[in-house]
């Protein structure tokens, strides 16, 4: 793993009393056995005071006496146990979200406690009202209810109140505004009734409403947190670190977040760059495919600019880190991204659109009720009671849950299908999409390379080359590894960074690497070049050199996915930054007629804008840095987990694995979810249609309010759960965990 030579000090936090702490993301944990093995294995290391693996997020917390061991030893110990672990950047771990979710859970507990106890008293009052409760007992019960409800609402209602306040301050309306208004008015009126010894109080309705809504919000939050945790683990496992060159010449492995412009970073051959910068020393070939989509390598040397996400193929580099400067690719991408994101922030989620339409309607209905009763000759107290009853019963319980409940169920299904959502409202936008635009390199093709025609090379040769490749860290070698046939690497194999691997076996020297490394005559090497594939040469002693062509093949299910999308009535299209000839090859293989090659980030956006102008809703799937603006500009977007940071952040969802199937699953699940959302909204409308007249004419008692609100919430939630059974019947969203 190469951690022994690197200082992991930046990942360690001191937790007092000479104890140090480090969090690691662990790969390969599948069962309780793994958990026990890792914990026991680490507890055996002298100095370790605590090792605990969180099975839910696959994270390991280790604590030890400061100075008793080097953090790198722990990583090596875990890899001895057979797992891959990567230290976690303490700065990146989302502390704020965990605190938020804990606050929601606490609010939920308080609201739940209050709802139960108030209900206990309310049921007594309801049954007492129709039998022989004395006014004194009723008043006592109302007072006790008030004493429980006031602090409970003040505590549990905070998330809604603050969000409603924020919306009003921005002169807009969200769903929390009618919720807050309903709760506060119900509380106010109940208190007034209690003071005057009235028959009806609505404390139970107010608290129960908060409880139901908090349950929905907590589930939603939890699902998003789980998704985030998974994405963070993957980021840590990808090793988002850089080897920082300290002024005294020492090398320290630090998280990317701790690198500043001006720092110098060492990039070995075969490593992916994690920073943007200018080459100070060294020259190499750079694979830009993750940045521009271009599959041919580019030669760079001192003074040239390199980008995070590119792959350093042949030589070691020292890179001076720079911020995005004017006129660079990164600068262009950032500018486009900003524009696209501003346009995006004005987009309204379905829930907010509903609230915007619903809130004025309800508030007008309440006002009309008040005026109507006054005009009909009622006293103002009766008129106000009826008006407030309208607000309470139309209380957006069903509406407030209609969309979040479906979102929770759908994002759970998507999670199991390998799709991690960045934005909660992405689901409804996925359902709208009618054109799917793919980037080619790294999206339609696998991010990793594989051997083009394994059968063209003799099996034995390929196996030996594969075993040699096991000793190399080079990205091209990785393509050969799977052909090693499960055998161990050659003993004593030596890698010459950026050139190749060699080993002595039975008096013959086996070499795997560049043409020059294998002493291939220039004319032979030139003749073998195809222009689209990379060549790896293999030679035994002075025998005939064998060229093994390696390329980024199409994803195994790309063809099927394109066919399935067509079946669902979606148009597919390729927009790539790669050469048109390379794009044509892929498009022909997949049967996609609509394709453009050689596009700059701005060109991609222009195409998307054209599609938008002709009324299409575009789902953009891309991974490169050059795709980031298009991902943000598209109606909805996805990127594979192998994508560069900026693109993952710009996309609405990230999908895992080697296959493209999650794209289809996302559309299928989202369409079903969208249908359930619509059903829920219609149900809520219908419910209001029935409930409002009852309230307007003054028939609402606390009993009716409580029954109507809880039953509508339950119905909406059950309908949301139906999405899951429906999806299970169709076999989507299961298995791939």
Kindly list the catalytic residues. 439
Q: Give the number of other CB atoms < 10 A from CB of residue 380.
A: 10
Residue of 36, 94, 99, 524 that binds other proteins (CB under 8 A): 36
Of the candidate residues 13, 79, 127, 137, the single one contacting other proteins (CB under 8 A): 137
- For the bound state, the minimum distance from the C-beta of residue 133 to other proteins, rounded and expressed in Å, comes to 10
Q: Which residues contact 131 (CB under 8 A, 6 or more apart)?
A: none
Stretch that binds other proteins, among 63-71, 82-90, 110-118, 230-238 (CB under 8 A): 110-118
DSSP per-residue string spanning 410-449: HHHHHHHTTEEES-TTHHHHHHH--EEEE-IIIIIB-SS-
Instruction: Please report how the helices 32-43 and 71-80 are oriented relative to each other, as an axis angle in degrees rounded to 10.
Output: 140
Span near other proteins by CB under 8 A; candidates 99-107, 245-253, 260-268, 705-713: 99-107
Residue 96 binds other proteins, judged by CB under 8 A? no
Q: Please, which residues have CB within 8 angstroms of residue 228's CB and are 6 or more apart in sequence? A: 94, 97, 420
40 belongs to the binding site for other proteins (CB under 8 A): yes
Instruction: Please identify, using beta-carbon distances, which residue of 222 and 461 lies nearer to other proteins.
Output: 222
Contact 78, 41 (CB under 8 A): yes
102 lies in the binding site for other proteins (CB under 8 A) = yes
Q: Which residue reads 């976690």 in tokens?
A: 88
| Shortest CB 144 distance to other proteins, Å | 7
Stretch that binds other proteins, among 3-11, 15-23, 38-46, 673-681 (CB under 8 A): 38-46
Cβ atoms within 10 Å, residue 682: 11
- 66, 70, 105, 715: which one binds other proteins (CB under 8 A): 105
Identity of the residue, 55 or 165, whose beta carbon is nearer to other proteins in the bound complex: 55
Distances (CA, A) of 350 to 343, 358, 467, 612: 17, 12, 55, 19
Using CB under 8 A, which of the segments 111-119, 337-345, 388-396, 501-509 binds other proteins? 111-119
**Smallest gap from residue 34 Cβ to other proteins (A):** 10
Rounded distance between C-alpha atoms, residue 651 and residue 416, angstroms: 19
Residue from the set 16, 32, 345, 613 that interacts with other proteins by CB under 8 A = 32
Residue 130 or 375 with smaller CB distance to other proteins? 130
Pick 106 or 612: Cβ nearer other proteins: 106
CA torsion, points 9, 12, 14, 18, in degrees to nearest 10?
Answer: -70
148 binds other proteins (CB under 8 A): yes
In the range 41-80, which residues lie near other proteins by CB under 8 A?
43, 52-57
> How does 22-60 read in b/e, with b if 16+ C-beta sit within 10 Å?
bbbbbeebeeeebbebbbebbeeeeebeebebeeebbbb
Judged by CB under 8 A, the chain residues 443 through 502 that form the site for other proteins are: none
Q: Which two tokens stand for residue 208?
A: 């129960």
Using the rule CB under 8 A, give the single segment among 28-36, 154-162, 289-297, 564-572 that binds other proteins: 28-36
Tokens of residue 203, six digits: 């404390």
Cβ closest to other proteins, residue 53 vs residue 413? 53
Task: Please tell me the distance from the alpha carbon of residue 62 to that of residue 87, in angstroms, as a whole number.
Answer: 11
36 vs 707, beta carbon nearer other proteins: 36
- Find all residues with CB under 8 Å of 402, minimum gap 6, and list them: 351, 354, 677, 680, 681, 683, 684, 716
Instruction: Assess 643 for contact with other proteins (CB under 8 A).
Output: no
43 or 341: CB nearest other proteins: 43
Task: Quickly list DSSP for 590-641.
Answer: HT---EE-S--HHHHHHHHHHHHHTT--EEEE--SGGGHHHHHHSSEEEEET
Q: Can residue 39 be called a binding residue for other proteins (CB under 8 A)?
A: yes
Residues in contact with other proteins by the rule CB under 8 A = 31-32, 35-36, 39-40, 43, 52-57, 102, 105-106, 109-110, 113, 116-117, 120-121, 137, 140, 144, 148
């Amino acid at each position: 793993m190469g951690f022994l030579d690197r200082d992991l000090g930046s990942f360690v936090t001191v937790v007092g009393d000479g104890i140090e702490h480090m969090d690691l993301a662990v790969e390969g944990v599948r069962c309780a056995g793994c958990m026990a093995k890792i914990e026991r294995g680490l507890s055996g290391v002298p100095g370790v005071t605590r090792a605990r693996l969180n099975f839910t997020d696959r994270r390991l917390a280790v604590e030890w006496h400061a100075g008793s061991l080097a953090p790198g030893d722990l990583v090596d110990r875990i890899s001895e146990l057979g797992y891959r672990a990567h230290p976690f950047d303490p700065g990146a771990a989302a502390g704020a979200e965990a605190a938020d979710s804990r606050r929601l859970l606490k609010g939920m507990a308080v609201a739940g406690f209050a709802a139960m106890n108030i209900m206990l008293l309310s049921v007594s009052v309801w049954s007492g009202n129709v039998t022989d409760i004395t006014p004194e007992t009723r008043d006592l019960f109302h007072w006790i209810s008030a004493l429980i409800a006031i602090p409970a609402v003040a505590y549990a209602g905070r998330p809604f109140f603050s969000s409603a306040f924020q919306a009003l301050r921005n002169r807009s309306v969200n769903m929390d505004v009618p919720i807050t208004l309903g709760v506060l008015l119900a509380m106010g009126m109940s208190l007034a009734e209690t003071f005057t010894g009235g028959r009806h109080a609505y404390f139970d309705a107010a608290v129960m409403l908060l409880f139901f809504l908090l349950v929905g919000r907590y589930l939603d939050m939890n699902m998003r947190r789980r998704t985030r945790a998974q994405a963070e683990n993957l980021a840590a496992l990808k090793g988002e670190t850089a080897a920082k060159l300290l002024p005294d010449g020492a090398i320290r492995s630090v998280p990317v977040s701790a690198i500043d412009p001006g720092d110098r970073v060492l990039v070995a051959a075969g490593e992916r760059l994690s920073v943007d910068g200018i080459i100070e020393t060294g020259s190499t070939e750079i694979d830009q495919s993750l940045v521009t989509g271009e599959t041919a390598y580019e030669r760079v040397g001192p003074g040239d600019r390199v980008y995070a996400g590119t792959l350093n193929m042949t030589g070691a580099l020292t890179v001076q880190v720079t911020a995005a400067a004017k006129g660079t690719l990164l600068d262009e991408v950032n500018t486009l991204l900003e524009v696209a994101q501003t346009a995006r922030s004005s987009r309204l989620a379905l829930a907010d659109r509903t609230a915007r339409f619903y809130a004025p309607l309800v508030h007008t209905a309440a006002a009309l009720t008040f005026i109507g009763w006054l005009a009909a000759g009622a006293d103002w107290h009766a008129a106000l009671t009826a008006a407030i009853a309208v607000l309470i019963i139309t209380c957006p319980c069903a509406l407030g849950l209609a969309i979040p409940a479906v979102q929770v169920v759908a994002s759970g299904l998507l999670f199991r299908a390998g799709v991690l959502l960045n934005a909660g409202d992405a689901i409804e936008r996925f359902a709208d999409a009618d054109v799917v635009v793919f980037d080619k390199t790294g999206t339609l093709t696998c991010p990793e390379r594989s051997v083009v025609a394994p059968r063209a090379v003799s099996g034995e040769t390929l196996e030996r080359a594969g075993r040699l490749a096991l000793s190399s860290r080079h990205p091209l070698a990785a393509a050969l590894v799977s052909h090693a046939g499960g055998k161990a690497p050659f003993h004593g194999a030596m890698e010459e960074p950026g050139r190749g691997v060699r080993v002595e076996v039975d008096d013959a020297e086996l070499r795997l690497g560049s043409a020059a490394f294998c002493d291939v005559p220039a004319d032979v090497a030139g003749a073998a070049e195809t222009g689209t594939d990379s060549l790896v040469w293999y030679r035994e002693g002075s025998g005939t050199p064998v060229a093994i062509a390696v390329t980024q093949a199409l994803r195994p299910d790309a063809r099927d996915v394109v066919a399935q999308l067509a079946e669902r009535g979606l148009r597919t299209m390729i927009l790539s930054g790669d050469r048109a000839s390379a794009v044509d090859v892929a498009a022909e293989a997949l049967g996609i007629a609509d394709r453009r090659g050689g596009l700059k980030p701005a060109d991609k956006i222009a195409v998307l804008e054209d599609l938008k102008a002709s009324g299409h809703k575009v789902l953009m799937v891309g991974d490169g840095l050059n795709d980031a603006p298009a991902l943000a500009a598209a109606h909805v977007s996805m990127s594979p987990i192998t994508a560069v940071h900026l693109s993952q952040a710009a996309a609405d969802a990230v999908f895992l694995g080697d296959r493209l199937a999650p794209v289809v699953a996302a559309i299928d699940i989202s369409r079903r979810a969208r249908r359930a959302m619509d059903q829920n909204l219609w149900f809520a409308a219908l419910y209001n249609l029935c409930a409002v007249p009852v309230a307007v004419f003054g028939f609402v008692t606390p009993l009716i309010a409580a029954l109507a609100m809880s039953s509508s919430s339950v119905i909406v939630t059950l309908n949301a759960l139906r999405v899951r059974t429906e999806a299970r019947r169709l076999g989507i969203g299961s298995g791939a965990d």
